[in-house]
Amino acid sequence: MASASPDIPSWTFLTNHGHVMVCIAHQPDIRLSEIAQKVGIGERAVHRIVHELIEAGYLTSTKVGRRNIYQMDLERPLRHPLESSHRLGAILDPLSSPQGSL
């Protein structure tokens, strides 16, 4: 993650969970170490987040050779009561378009 300049706040609108999902949306076979580098968190944190997303039903993981391929359930509703009427795809579709490439 780029360091913030004095004019740009250090906070972001998405959580680390959201950032991990954006990385996976861009590249379903991405390695956890690559996600950690792009998001700016440790690999253990990425592992925990991916595990939580799998347990919650937002992701599934399939082993292909030595790599995991992730698939998202874009129809799954968001968890917070303020967003629960919206689906995961409503957030990830615009962020995973070529215009928003990492």
DSSP one-letter string for 28-69: TT--HHHHHHHHTS-HHHHHHHHHHHHHTTSEEEEEETTEEE
**CATH number for region 16-95:** 1.10.10.10
Cα separation of 57 and 55, whole Å?
5
The answer on pLDDT for 81 being more than 90 is: yes
Quick one: tokens of 11?
A: 């906070």
pLDDT for 69: 98
| AA letter at 78 | L
| AA letter at 88 | L
Quick: pLDDT tens for 1-11.
555 567 888 88
| AA letter at 22 | V
pLDDT for 4: 57
The answer on pLDDT for 71 being more than 90 is: yes
Q: Give SS3 for 72.
A: strand
